[in-house]
Structure 1
Amino acid sequence: MNTANKNHLNILDLPNEILLIICKELNMVDVLYSIVDVNERFNQLILDHLYIRHLNMTTMTIRSVFDRIYSIDDQVLSRICKQILPRIRHQVNQLTVAPYSMDRLLTLNYSQLYSLSLVDFQEKILLQYLKGNSILCNLLSEQITHLCIDMEVKTVMPPLSKTLSEIFILILSLCKRLVYLNFCSSSRYRLMAVHIFKPSTTNCTSSTLTTLNINVDNFADCLYLLDGRLNCLSTLIIRILKISPVISKIKNTKELPKLKSFSLTSVYPIMAYDNLIIPLLRRMINLEELILFLSVIRFDSTYIDGIQLQDEVLIYMPRLKKFTFSIDTRLFNNNIKIDLRSNEEIQRSFIGRVNGQIGSDVQTIVMKNAGICHVYSLPYQFEDFCHLNNSFQGGMFHKVQCLIMTDETYSFEHYFFQVISQDFPFLKELYIVNCQPQKDKQHSSTLIRFPYLLLLSLVMAHMDYVEEFLFDKNIHLPRLLNLFIKYEPLAIVTNNFTNDAARATCGKLKCLEISEPFVCPENFHQYFPLLL
C-alpha cells in the first residue's frame, strides 16, 4: 500500500479483498458498467468467477413498499451485453433477469448456467415466453435445475389468477432437470398465491423436483401438491391463505415417507387446526425438520402448549431433529368453563418435551372466558410476529420485520412502544389494532425511534396512536413511506393538515392509503408533497 500520503488515500491503494467486499455491496450492473476495462487489476477482480458466477442483471428502485421499479438504462445494458457478457458467459452459474433485458441476455450461450431467476414479470408476458420463446424453453428443459419466479405485484393481496396456475403447471412440464423451484415466494412484498385448479395427474407432475417454495390459495392445493405427483419432493415450504375445511377427493391420511423438511405458514387464522393440520403433520413419518407459523382460533378448548404438541404431533415424528415454531391460540370458551393456563404453566408444559428455549405470552380475559396464548421457539426465526399484546414478556427479535400489535382490553402506552422499538430493532412494518385510548398522554422526554420502519397501519387504532406516531416529538420515523389510516383521525390530529407537529413525518410519505372516500382539502398536497 502506498503510505506516502495517508491523507490522500486512493481506492487503488486498497487490497483486493476490500475492493471485492465493496463491489459486492454495490449493484452488479453498476459495477460491470463502470469498472470493467478501467484497468487490468479491476478486470481481474470483477471478471473473476467468484464474483460473476451469480450474475444479477437487475436494478431496482423502491418508490414505496409495494411499488418497486426494475429498469436499466439502455446504454448501460447495451455496453454490458456487447462488450462484457461475451467474455464471462461461460463462467456464469446463476442468472437473474427482468423483462426489459430478457431478449438481449438470452441470446448468448451460458454453458455453465444451472440457476435462473425471472424477476418482475407480468403473468401474460411470462406465459408468452414459456409458450413461444425457444431459447428460454430449451434453457429450462436442458440446463436449469434451480428456478425462481418473481411476478410483478402492485397490491398488498393480488387476486387469484388462472394464468399463474397455468404458468406453474407449464414450468413443471418444461423443466426436465428441475430440483428447486421458488414460485412467487422470493420477497415478502411480492407474494402471490396459486390455486392449483384441480389439475390432472398427467399435466402437473415432476419426477425431479426435490424442493418447492410456494404460496397457495387453500388447503386443498397443499393436499394436491402432496398427493404423489411430485414424487421426489423432500422439502416443501408452503404458505396457505385459507386453511379451512374443503371438499377434496384427496384423503389427508396417506403417509409421506419421502418428506424430510416441511415449513407451513398460515396467512389467516385457522379454525380447523385439529381437523386438518394435525392429521397432515402425522403423515410425515420421516420428517427431520419442521417449521410452523400458525395462528389458531379455538372454541371451547385449551391453549396449544408443549404437552399437546408432543402428544398430538411430535410423537409421530421419531426422526425429527429441528422444530422451529410460532403458534398463537385465541380461545373463545362460550359453552364450557375451563381454567386457562397461566404463562408459568405454559412454560412448564414444554419442559422435557421440546428442546431449546421457549418464549410464551399469555393474556387471559376472565370476564369473557377467553384468552390469547403465543408460544414460540427461541431464538425467534420468523420475519413476522403476530398479535403482540400487553402480556409480551420482552426479548430480542432481530429477524422480525413485520409486527402486528393488537389488544382488545388494554391500551398501548408510550413506554410500551419504547420497549417495542428496542426489542424489534429492524422492524419495517407495524400494524396497530387497539381501540382503547391511552391513559398516560404525558409522554416522557425520551424520543422513540423506529429507524427502519417503512409501513405503518393505524386503520384500526384509536386516535391517540395517530398522534403518538405522527408527531415527530414522540416517535421518529426517518424512513416511513407508507401509511394506512382513516381520514377523520388523520384530519383531526393534523388539524386539517395545518399542524406542524406532524408535518415532518407526513412530508416524507410516498403512499397514503385512506380506507374511505374523501375530498382533498386545499392544502392536502402541500402537507403530503411526495405522494406518488
Structure 2
Amino acid sequence: CLYLLDGRLQHLSILIIDIDEISDSSSNIDNTKNLPKLKCLTLTSQWYTYFYNDRIVPLLRRMLNLEELTLFLSIIRNESTYIDGTQLHNDFLINMPRLNKFIFSIHTYIINDRIEIDLPSKNDILNSFLEREYQQVHSYADEKLTFNRGFCHVYLLPYHFNDFIFMTSGFQGGSFSEVRGLIMLDIRPFENELFQVISQDFPFLQRLSITNLYSQQNKQHLSTSITFAHLFDLDLARANIDYVVQFLFDKNTSLPRLTHLTVRYETLATVTQGFTNDAARLTCSTIRCLVVKEPFVRPEKFLLYFSSL
C-alpha cells in the first residue's frame, strides 16, 4: 500500500485499505510526500501490529485535508500504556483540521515486563475523548496487569463494523446488531454469564472464535440454555475443554444453525466420551464441516455421532 502512496496517484481522493496485518518493510519507499487530495480513508487490519508508531502514524500525518477517517486496528505496545483520545489527537488528529467524521475501533495490548506504569481507568480513557468532543465512545480496559499484560478496547458508538475482535472478559455489554464475527481472547477465564450477555448483545452473530486456555472458575451452568440463533461457524481449537462443554452440550448452549466446527481431536473425544454420550450428540449431528488439524483414526461410532458429515 505504501508503494501506491509515494506520490504517483496525485488525484487520489478516496482510499480503502483492508489487510490482515500491518508489518514492517525493508524496501526503500518514499513515505514522506503529503497527500493533499485525499479526502476519505478507511484502514482496517484484522491482526495485531507492532508498527503503530513506525507505519500508521507517519502515514496518517501525510493526510492534511482528510475529511473522513475510519480505523479498525489492534496494536501491541511494549513498556507503554493504552492508546486514548489524547494520544490519537497528538499523533495525527491535530494535523487534520478538516476532519468531520472519525469512526474507530482500536484495541491495545500492552506488555510491560520491565517497567511499572500507572494505567488509566476506563473513565480516564473516556474523558480523553470527551475533551476532544467525541461523545459517543465506549471502552473497557484492564486497570491492573495480569502476567504483565493488559488489554484495552475503545470504539465509537453506534458500532459500525462487521467484526468485533479480541474481546476479553472485561467486556461490559452493549448493542452490536451489525456484528457477524467475534473473536474472543484472554488470559483470564470466560465465565457462563459472559456468553449469556454475548448471545443477547450480538443477536446476529454468525462466526465465533475463542482463544482461552484457562478453565472456567464457575462450573455451574445457567438454568436455561443460551441460544445463538444464527451462529454457523465455531472455532474452539485454542480453547480450554470447558468452552467445548459450554458450546457442544445442548443443555448449556443451543446452536440451531451450527454447521462448521474447528476443535482439537483429543478434546472432542474426551467431551463426547469417545463419541458415545448424548450430551453433545444433537449439536454434533448438525456439523457438515469438521476441522481437526492433527491426524486421527476415526473410531467406529464417529460417523454415527457426526451424522451430517
- Indicate how the Cα distance of structure 1 residues 467 and 367 shifts in structure 2: closer, same or farther if over 3 A, else same: closer
SS at match of 1:266: strand
| Residue identity matched to 2:53 | D
How far apart, in 2, do the equivalents of 1:506 and 1:394 lie?
A: 29
- The answer to whether the 8 A contact 1:385-1:403 is kept is yes
Tell me the residue number matched to 1:111.
none
Q: TM-score, normalised by structure 1?
A: 0.57
Spell out the pairing of 1:50-61 with structure 2 (5 A cutoff). none
- Indicate how the Cα distance of structure 1 residues 266 and 367 shifts in structure 2: closer, same or farther if over 3 A, else same: closer
In the alignment, which of 103, 106, 127 is matched to residue 324 of structure 1? 103
Instruction: State the 1:249 CA deviation.
Output: 2.5
How far apart, in 1, do the equivalents of 2:102 and 2:126 lie?
A: 16
Please tell me whether residue 453 in structure 1 is matched to residue 218 in structure 2. no
The CA deviation string for residues 194-227 of structure 1, in whole angstroms up to 9 with x for no partner, is: xxxxxxxxxxxxxxxxxxxxxxxxxxxx111222
| Residue identity matched to 1:273 | Y
| Residue identity matched to 2:301 | N
Please tell me whether residue 504 in structure 1 is matched to residue 296 in structure 2. no
| Residue identity matched to 1:317 | M
SS at match of 1:516: coil
**Structure with larger Rg:** 1
Spell out the pairing of 1:278-289 with structure 2 (5 A cutoff). 278-289=57-68
Instruction: State the 1:332 CA deviation.
Output: 0.8
SS at match of 1:268: strand
Spell out the pairing of 1:402-413 with structure 2 (5 A cutoff). 402-409=181-188, 411-413=189-191
In the alignment, which of 177, 198, 201 is matched to residue 420 of structure 1? 198
Q: TM-score, normalised by structure 2?
A: 0.96
- The answer to whether the 8 A contact 2:7-2:33 is kept is no
Instruction: State the 1:354 CA deviation.
Output: 4.5
How far apart, in 2, do the equivalents of 1:273 and 1:469 lie?
A: 36
Please tell me whether residue 489 in structure 1 is matched to residue 267 in structure 2. yes
Please tell me whether residue 433 in structure 1 is matched to residue 205 in structure 2. no
Tell me the residue number matched to 1:187.
none
Tell me the residue number matched to 1:370.
149
Tell me the residue number matched to 1:528.
306
How far apart, in 1, do the equivalents of 2:208 and 2:74 lie?
A: 18
Spell out the pairing of 1:65-84 with structure 2 (5 A cutoff). none
- The answer to whether the 8 A contact 1:310-1:354 is kept is no
Spell out the pairing of 1:169-318 with structure 2 (5 A cutoff). 222-318=1-97
- The answer to whether the 8 A contact 2:112-2:149 is kept is yes
Give the gaps of 5 or more residues in structure 1: 1-221
How far apart, in 2, do the equivalents of 1:516 and 1:442 lie?
A: 31
How far apart, in 2, do the equivalents of 1:359 and 1:454 lie?
A: 28
SS at match of 2:142: strand
- Indicate how the Cα distance of structure 1 residues 449 and 367 shifts in structure 2: closer, same or farther if over 3 A, else same: closer
The CA deviation string for residues 103-132 of structure 1, in whole angstroms up to 9 with x for no partner, is: xxxxxxxxxxxxxxxxxxxxxxxxxxxxxx
Instruction: State the 1:247 CA deviation.
Output: 1.9
Instruction: State the 1:230 CA deviation.
Output: 3.4
Give the gaps of 5 or more residues in structure 2: none
Instruction: State the 1:365 CA deviation.
Output: 4.2
Tell me the residue number matched to 2:294.
516
How far apart, in 2, do the equivalents of 1:334 and 1:498 lie?
A: 46
- The answer to whether the 8 A contact 2:140-2:153 is kept is yes
| Residue identity matched to 2:268 | L
Tell me the residue number matched to 1:341.
120
In the alignment, which of 361, 381, 397 is matched to residue 160 of structure 2? 381
How far apart, in 2, do the equivalents of 1:389 and 1:440 lie?
A: 17
Tell me the residue number matched to 2:175.
396
Between 276-285 and 237-246, report the one with greater CA deviation: 237-246
How far apart, in 1, do the equivalents of 2:130 and 2:214 lie?
A: 36
The CA deviation string for residues 395-445 of structure 1, in whole angstroms up to 9 with x for no partner, is: 001111111111202x21212110010011110111111111122222122
| Residue identity matched to 1:357 | Q
| Residue identity matched to 1:362 | A
How far apart, in 2, do the equivalents of 1:442 and 1:262 lie?
A: 47
| Residue identity matched to 1:470 | L
Where relative contact order (Cα < 8 A, 6+ residues apart) is larger, the structure is 2
Moved over 6 A (4+): none
Tell me the residue number matched to 1:56.
none
Tell me the residue number matched to 2:240.
462
Tell me the residue number matched to 2:250.
472
The CA deviation string for residues 240-266 of structure 1, in whole angstroms up to 9 with x for no partner, is: 233222122322211001111101111
How far apart, in 2, do the equivalents of 1:254 and 1:381 lie?
A: 31
Tell me the residue number matched to 1:146.
none
- The answer to whether the 8 A contact 1:383-1:402 is kept is yes
Instruction: State the 1:363 CA deviation.
Output: 1.7
Between 496-505 and 291-300, report the one with greater CA deviation: 496-505
| Residue identity matched to 2:208 | L
| Residue identity matched to 2:58 | P
Instruction: State the 1:276 CA deviation.
Output: 0.7
How far apart, in 2, do the equivalents of 1:356 and 1:488 lie?
A: 48
| Residue identity matched to 1:363 | D
How far apart, in 2, do the equivalents of 1:311 and 1:434 lie?
A: 35
How far apart, in 2, do the equivalents of 1:327 and 1:317 lie?
A: 19
- The answer to whether the 8 A contact 1:306-1:354 is kept is no
The CA deviation string for residues 25-51 of structure 1, in whole angstroms up to 9 with x for no partner, is: xxxxxxxxxxxxxxxxxxxxxxxxxxx
Structural RMSD (CA): 1.3
How far apart, in 1, do the equivalents of 2:143 and 2:304 lie?
A: 46
The CA deviation string for residues 364-409 of structure 1, in whole angstroms up to 9 with x for no partner, is: 4435333111110110001111111121121001111111111202
- The answer to whether the 8 A contact 1:364-1:370 is kept is no
Instruction: State the 1:235 CA deviation.
Output: 1.1
How far apart, in 2, do the equivalents of 1:449 and 1:300 lie?
A: 41
How far apart, in 2, do the equivalents of 1:388 and 1:507 lie?
A: 29
- Indicate how the Cα distance of structure 1 residues 253 and 386 shifts in structure 2: closer, same or farther if over 3 A, else same: same
How far apart, in 1, do the equivalents of 2:307 and 2:11 lie?
A: 54
Spell out the pairing of 1:69-148 with structure 2 (5 A cutoff). none
